[in-house]
Amino acid sequence: MLASAFAVGACVAVGLYFSTRAVHREMEIARLKSDFVAAVSHDFRTPLASFRQLSELLLDDRVASDGDRKEYYRRMYRESGRLQRLVEELLDFARIDAGAREYRLECVDPTPIVRSVAAEFTAERSDRSITVDVEVQGAVPNVRVDREAFARALWNLLDNAAKYSPGRNRVRVSTRASDGRVFFSVSDDGIGVSRERHQDIFEKFVRVTSSAVPAVAGTGLGLAIVKHVVDGHGGRVTLVSAPGHGSTFTIELPAASLS
Q: Please give the residue ranges that form the binding site for ligand ADP (CB under 6 A).
A: 156, 160-161, 164, 188, 190-193, 201, 206-208, 218-224, 247
Q: Residue 174's closest CA among 137, 226, 119?
A: 137
What number of residues does the chain have? 259
Torsions phi, psi for 166 (to 5 deg): -60, 140
CB 198 within 8 A of CB 241: yes
The residue sitting closest to ligand ADP, measured at its beta carbon, is 218
Q: Among residues 205 and 255, whose Cβ is nearest to ligand ADP? A: 205
Q: Among residues 144 and 160, whose Cβ is nearest to ligand ADP? A: 160
User: Smallest gap, in angstroms, from Cβ of residue 192 to ligand ADP?
Assistant: 6
User: Smallest gap, in angstroms, from Cβ of residue 169 to ligand ADP?
Assistant: 15
Q: Among residues 74 and 195, whose Cβ is nearest to ligand ADP? A: 195
CB 180 within 8 A of CB 215: no
User: Smallest gap, in angstroms, from Cβ of residue 62 to ligand ADP?
Assistant: 35
Q: Among residues 132 and 191, whose Cβ is nearest to ligand ADP? A: 191
CB 225 within 8 A of CB 153: yes
Is the backbone of residue 129 left (phi > 0), alpha (psi -120 to 50) or beta? left
User: Smallest gap, in angstroms, from Cβ of residue 58 to ligand ADP?
Assistant: 31
Q: How far apart are CA 48 and CA 54, in angstroms?
A: 10
User: Smallest gap, in angstroms, from Cβ of residue 240 to ligand ADP?
Assistant: 11
Q: Among residues 182 and 224, whose Cβ is nearest to ligand ADP? A: 224
Per-residue b/e over 70-106, b at no fewer than 16 CB within 10 Å? eebeebbebbeebbebbeebeebbeebeeeebebebe
Q: Among residues 144 and 235, whose Cβ is nearest to ligand ADP? A: 235
User: Smallest gap, in angstroms, from Cβ of residue 86 to ligand ADP?
Assistant: 10
> Could you count the other beta carbons within 10 Å of the beta carbon of residue 185?
19
